[in-house]
Amino acid sequence: MSGKEYRKVKEAFQSNWIAPLGPFVNEFEHVVAGYAGVKAGAALSSGTAAIHLALKLIGVQKGEVVFCSSLTFVASANPILYEQAVPVFIDSEKDTWNMCPQALEKALIEAKRLGKKPRAVIVVHLYGQSAKMDEIVTLCEAYDVPIIEDAAESLGSTYKGRKSGSIGMFGVYSFNGNKIISTSGGGMLVSDDEEAIDRCRFLASQAREPAMHYEHEEIGHNYRMSNLLAGVGVAQMEVLDERVKEKRRIFGRYKGALSTMEGIHFMPEYQETKSNRWLTTITIDPALHICPMEIIEALEKEHIEARRVWKPLHRQPLFRDCPFYTTAPEVPESELLFQTGLCLPSGTSMTESQQERVIDMFRYFLQKNQSHNSSFPSLHL
């Protein structure tokens, strides 16, 4: 928190707008949509709710197919199951770690052949890095499939000067506690389609028809954000650009200190994109014979929390029967990233000396282990 949020919360209390509507909700929607450069936004209880409602607005039905990036958090795909639709996962590529356009094309061709055109494509911008949107948009236009950008991790990032989340039919942001800015929990659906966003607000408010006697014609959800939390969001938006700068400074310090170490590679920043560097993420060359879990455990002993890269969804038991498309000749790119990837502590409240300590411990561990040169443990998926 920046310290400014408390004033907004107090204001909400004083005005007694403690409800899933109120002036801060409207203001937050206005500010976020303006920042993204789109016409409208609906403040919701989570990013997951925003993905769910995007699927409903597109009209995804039971049994229909929805494509989704495989290398992501489960929340990107869970809403496909809420609608009893069928997720089809697409592999990553090396330049952005995100949806591979060639694998997407392969999946689209196959879907056409099977007569199972996807109703939507959910493209994730992992750890703040935008996917290759030009290629993905061209393909989706050719096959007439709407895009939902899962920009939960990439608020503040840009693709060719455009804000992440503003390119597809819908963009999704998350304000969960771990995100670049937070309302403790919350999300937003943004779009240039103002009518769709109006309907999103309607579906998020139990689909209550405009009648005094609580009339309902269709299934709704209780997905609106409270005015209290929206107040926090309004204040957080004031510091978003500063947070992006700080995240990038953190990334820069790690890179400056560690990129000269053999076998350590930093997540790329693709040409004409700017990442918010939500998490500083690296890969460790298997030739070093050190797996990410060993580093995580060693750092944990020093009370330093590091994390694995997301386990690809096509390898999750939950999605075991779902199709997966890759163009990799051997191991899919998303699996390689999972096997070798590591997210370093990246919180903006971390001090420089705390980060120095992380760097020192990381270096120490790597050097110590390189001399031991243990064999690369087999992967347990």
Ligand X SMILES: Cc1ncc(COP(=O)(O)O)c(C=O)c1O
Residue 40 Cβ, how far from ligand X at the closest point, in Å? 19
76 binds ligand X (CB under 6 A): yes
- Is 75 a binder of ligand X (CB under 6 A)? yes
d(CA 178, CA 185): 9
Tally Cβ neighbours within 10 Å of residue 37: 15
E-strand ranges in the chain read: 40-44, 65-69, 86-90, 120-124, 147-150, 158-159, 162-163, 170-174, 187-191, 264-266, 273-274, 280-284, 307-308, 324-325, 341-344
32, 124, 225, 342: residue in contact with ligand X (rule CB under 6 A): 124
SS3 68: strand
Q: How far is the CB of 189 from ligand X (least distance, A)?
A: 11
Instruction: Return the range that interacts with ligand X (CB under 6 A); candidates 150-158, 160-168, 239-247, 368-376.
Output: 150-158
Tell whether residue 147 is a contact of ligand X (CB under 6 A): no
Supply the minimum distance, in Å, between the C-beta of residue 124 and ligand X. Answer: 5
Closer to ligand X at the Cβ: 85 or 124? 124
Closest CA relative to residue 39, chosen from 158, 149, 192, 150: 192
Are 93 and 74 in contact by the 8 Å Cβ rule? The answer is no
Does 152 sit near ligand X (CB under 6 A)?
A: yes
The answer to whether residue 190 forms part of the interface with ligand X (CB under 6 A) is no
Q: How far apart are CA 246 and CA 238, in angstroms?
A: 14
Tell me whether residue 8 or residue 179 sits nearer to ligand X (CB atom). Answer: 179
Kindly tell me which of 121 and 152 has the beta carbon lying closer to ligand X. 152
In the numeric block, the tokens 């750890």 are attached to 127
Q: How far apart are CA 116 and CA 66, in angstroms?
A: 10
Sole binder of ligand X in the list 20, 47, 87, 101 (CB under 6 A): 47
Single-letter amino acid, residue 188: M
Q: What are phi and psi of 235, to 5 degrees?
A: -70, -35
Which residue of 174, 191, 276, 346 would you call a contact of ligand X, by CB under 6 A? 174
Which one of residues 105, 149, 153, 246 is an interface residue with ligand X (CB under 6 A)?
A: 153
Instruction: Note whether 105 binds ligand X by CB under 6 A.
Output: no
Judged by the rule CB under 6 A, the positions of this chain that interact with ligand X are: 46-48, 72-73, 75-76, 124, 150, 152-153, 174, 176, 187
